[in-house]
Amino acid sequence: MDLVTLVLILSLLSATLLIVGLATRRERAASPELEERLERFASVEAQATAQVAVTRTPNPVAQQVDRMVQGKRFSEAVALLLARANIRMTVGEFLVVRAGTATFAFALGFVLGRGVTQPILGLLVGLVMGVLGWMGPHWYVSLRARRRTNAFVNQLGDTITLMANSLRAGYSLLQTMELVARESPPPMSEEFLRVVREVGLGIPTQEAMEHLLRRVPSDDLDLLITAINVQHEVGGNLAQILDVIGETIRERVRIKGEVRVLTAQQSISGYIISALPLGLAALLVVINPGYIMGMMRWPWICMPITGVILIILGFLAMRKIVQIEV
């Protein structure tokens, strides 16, 4: 067994063990004392959810990583990103998954690169793919969080109308949020259900709404929370205020949709122009590998690396141009 095969087997084994370890997390039954304490502060539905959150035994490796990064700013940022994406993982579990994907990607890139030419190129390809493997889970979570935030904002106009009507019907603010949690689709129902549970556990309403704003960063939601806080301090007709805010948010969502339609051609052009050189290079590798592999030697390898960097910068510039704030 040569060194390459050994490295690949060990990398695959380590990545598999890490992922399987996270997937086989155990649960134990809650003690009667815990059930009694939860029953004092939460409803039956909230109690069941809290039991799962409290009694889940984390993976030992992830638990050790959690202790190492606890209290650091990086850990807080990762935890906030996971909350925005609604992924129920600890920071340690997420870092272990990123380490496993990075190890697997490095081993795969090393084997593929070395098999084509020489070990030094295999190491370079492995490092590049390892970095991509490390960043891949972060990109996925960021994309999921962004899509969830956009879905929340698109539902916010109708939700504010529902809140205004329920307030006119005589509901309190907490009852109104419970109604939103029951009647609205996700992610609106999920987020307002968290707010209701936090208030049921003794957290002030203003603080629970601030937690909601941290999980869903949106100017429209900030406007709603500001109106609720002002009405709580000085009084006033909250239902009428919500009607005005809801109309403003619906118009903003409509204008954003029109802007996306007008800039769709430029966005697609950015993807096509950026992918065209990479696709052409892949096609040449398949048709005539020797022609392309002549550039994969020092110092000619600097040319494709520089080209990839310029492609990425051009793509980011085009994305920035079509991003119009409303």
pLDDT band at 47 (very low <50, low <70, confident <90, very high): very low
pLDDT band at 295 (very low <50, low <70, confident <90, very high): confident
Is-contact 100 130, C-beta < 8 A? no
* Residue 206, pLDDT above cutoff 60: yes
What separation in angstroms does the CA of 69 have from each of 91, 92, 215, 240? 8, 8, 21, 47
- Quick one: what percent of the chain has pLDDT higher than 90? 25
Residue 213 DSSP SS3 = helix
Q: For residue 166, which of 247, 174, 186, 152 has the smallest C-alpha distance?
A: 174
pLDDT band at 283 (very low <50, low <70, confident <90, very high): confident
Angle at 77 between CA 75 and CA 83, to 5 degrees: 105
Q: What is the pLDDT of residues 109-167, one digit of tens each?
A: 888 766 545 667 677 778 888 888 999 999 999 999 999 998 998 899 889 999 999 99
Is-contact 267 322, C-beta < 8 A? yes
- Widest CA span of the chain, in angstroms? 78
Q: What is the pLDDT of residues 212-243, one digit of tens each?
A: 999 999 888 998 999 888 888 887 888 888 99
Which ranges in 169-263 belong to alpha helices (H)? 173-183, 188-200, 205-215, 219-234, 238-262
pLDDT band at 25 (very low <50, low <70, confident <90, very high): very low
pLDDT band at 17 (very low <50, low <70, confident <90, very high): low
**Region 258-267: what's the mean pLDDT?**
84
Exposed / middle / buried, residue 79 (Cβ in 10 Å: 0-12, 13-18, 19+): middle
What pLDDT sits at residue 33?
A: 54
- For the chain, helix, strand, coil in percent to 5 are 80, 0, 15
What pLDDT sits at residue 48?
A: 36
Task: Output 278 or 49, whichever has higher pLDDT.
Answer: 278
